[in-house]
Amino acid sequence: MIPRQSVLQALTALSQSLQYAHDSDVDPWQFAIEHEILREMGLTVSDIRWLIHKKFVIHRKETTAPGDPTRSFSRLSITSITPDAAYVLTDSGIEITRRLMNEESAPSDLSSPELVSRPLPSDTRNCPIWSADHRELWYEERLVKRFRVPAQNQVLVLTVFQEEGWPEFIDDPLPSDPKIDPRRRLQATVKSLNRCQAEGQIRFHTCGGDKIFWSAPGNELDA
């Protein structure tokens, strides 16, 4: 399927925003493109849903308040498209943008920016599958873990990984609680995720106390 011209223009703008973030040495979300801007480019709601479901973009609700030193966001479900949403290109989005701009059929007025160098896109690796309905984690058609008792924190982590297409890592998705040390809670959650797995097929670990990474045998990314 060849996207419409407006979708190609939006992908180009999103890739440019990543380049700006990389050049400024800031988190890509600081240059996230707002929903209304994508709509002004001519994208329909169906266009945006297609980008999300193809995992070419990640969207979040912007919660930045006037005077905040940086932009802030909260997570949205894959089905929620709100006026205050903002969008960032994923690794898969970078690859499709690069490929489309290199094709002869791509519009000639879409000059190719230098796309940010990123790790191997997650969708070129074998990715786990989290079935929320069955409370089961699968990898390469093998059952890794089944949850028979409530495990709210573990389930939330797996749900976010699944919604975002199993990127290399996610930010800590657990809700803040002033009575709980977030780093210790995240470490405890990761330890629980790694326990009781069939053959230890997937390993989770934290980095910096606020990010969760995943890996599997033969599927690790180079540092």
Q: What is the pLDDT of residue 8?
A: 87
- A 10 A CB-CB count for 74 gives 9
CATH number 1.10.10 given to 5-102: yes
Lowest-pLDDT choice from 67-76, 91-100, 106-115: 106-115
Tell me what the mean pLDDT of segment 204-211 comes to.
86
Q: Report the percent of the chain where pLDDT is more than 70.
A: 83
Query: What is the chain's mean pLDDT, rounded?
Result: 82
Q: What is the pLDDT of residue 104?
A: 37
Q: Which residues contact 53 (CB under 8 A, 6 or more apart)?
A: 78
pLDDT above 90 (res 87): yes
- A 10 A CB-CB count for 128 gives 19
pLDDT in tens, 121-178: 344 347 888 888 888 998 877 889 999 888 999 999 999 988 888 888 899 999 888 8
Q: Which residues contact 52 (CB under 8 A, 6 or more apart)?
A: 58, 59, 78, 81
Q: How far apart are CA 55 and CA 46, in angstroms?
A: 14
Q: What is the pLDDT of residue 223?
A: 35
DSSP-derived 3-state class of residue 97: helix
Q: How far apart are CA 204 and CA 192, in angstroms?
A: 10
Q: Which residues pair with 89 in a beta bridge?
A: 57
pLDDT in tens, 2-44: 566 888 889 999 999 989 988 888 889 999 999 999 999 899 9
Q: What is the pLDDT of residue 3?
A: 63
- A 10 A CB-CB count for 75 gives 17
Query: Six-digit token pair at 148?
Result: 């028979």
